[in-house]
Amino acid sequence: MNTQLRLHRRTVLGRALLAATAVGAVSRRVAAQAPATEDRWPSLAAQVFDGRKLQDGGAIMAIDAPYRAEDAALVPVGLHSLLPADDTRQIRRITLVIDENPSPVAAVFSPSPASGMRSLSTRVRVDDYTNVHAVTELSDGQLYASARYVKAAGGCSAPAAKLEGDPIPLGTMRFRQFPPAEGDAPGLREAQLLVRHPNYTGMQMDQLTRLYVPAHFVNSIRIWQGDDLLLAIEGGISISENPAFRFDYRPNGAGGFRAEIKDSEGRSFRQEWPAARA
């Protein structure tokens, strides 16, 4: 190869490298100047809470959730009251919001004033990296917002387990009562309600038909202790399949518990259980 041809090729290669470097530099400048991802929370909060003022809830409610979830379709979320024991205010309602989910309002929990409830937990679907907000309404009428960031993706479209041919019928419930444990709040007990239901989101694809499975989910739960309502829950597609809710409560001496649930297809289910001995 002659000297002139080698010099020509070096010149062409050098120009290509300079061009690539310039493009890379421009790309980096553009990326640096690009606006940050828009925070959905301000507009979302205004819509969900009808423009009501939200105060900082860092001293009101704590959110326990993994920073990076192992399974986006089964993300554990715990809510714990931070109100001092001598605070006379009570929790009237907790709205759990997953900002980046297709249906952001995951659930609304309404404990009865007599329940004494200070903590509850469930499992949710998370569709993208997101803030999870818990907005607590206290008996003083004020709203307090707490937040927790969770890294997970694809939870709303993750395949759900098939229930066809399952020996456990749709709507079957299990109610567990836990004995007092060290560290529990004085006078409170814990219980858990488990519900057999796929909680289809409408975003999951049937792997055989390649068609989307219609949404079908639990949207209303009422848990009673004797004749006293303990907890009312309004749910949606962001609650994981086979919903599970664990909560604490103050025993009232009643002889049993019952739960009544409804789903988005209008089906109703009801079960009762005897109270465990203290």
Is 50 exceeded by the pLDDT of residue 263?
Answer: yes
DSSP per-residue letters across 90-105: -EEEEEEEETTSSS-E
Is 50 exceeded by the pLDDT of residue 32?
Answer: no
pLDDT of residue 163: 52
Separation between Cα atoms, residue 3 and residue 19, nearest integer Å: 24
Separation between Cα atoms, residue 209 and residue 213, nearest integer Å: 10
Is 60 exceeded by the pLDDT of residue 35?
Answer: no
3-state percent helix, strand, coil for the chain, nearest multiple of 5: 15, 40, 45
pLDDT of residue 206: 86
pLDDT confidence band for 42 (50 / 70 / 90): very high
Give the chain's mean pLDDT: 87
135: which residues sit within 8 A by CB, 6+ positions away?
45, 48, 49, 54, 57, 94, 95, 97, 143, 144, 145, 146
Read off the DSSP letter of residue 18.
H
| Tokens linked to 69 | 């979830």
Separation between Cα atoms, residue 76 and residue 66, nearest integer Å: 7
Question: Which tops the pLDDT comparison, 32 or 177?
Answer: 177
Is 80 exceeded by the pLDDT of residue 18?
Answer: no
pLDDT of residue 162: 60
pLDDT confidence band for 265 (50 / 70 / 90): very high
pLDDT tens digits for range 130-172 = 999 999 999 999 999 999 999 999 999 998 766 555 678 999 9
Interval 84-109 mean pLDDT: 96
pLDDT of residue 278: 64
pLDDT tens digits for range 178-205 = 988 776 777 899 999 999 999 999 999 9
Is 70 exceeded by the pLDDT of residue 80?
Answer: yes
Is 70 exceeded by the pLDDT of residue 23?
Answer: no
pLDDT of residue 19: 40
Q: Are 255 and 231 in contact (CB under 8 A)?
A: no
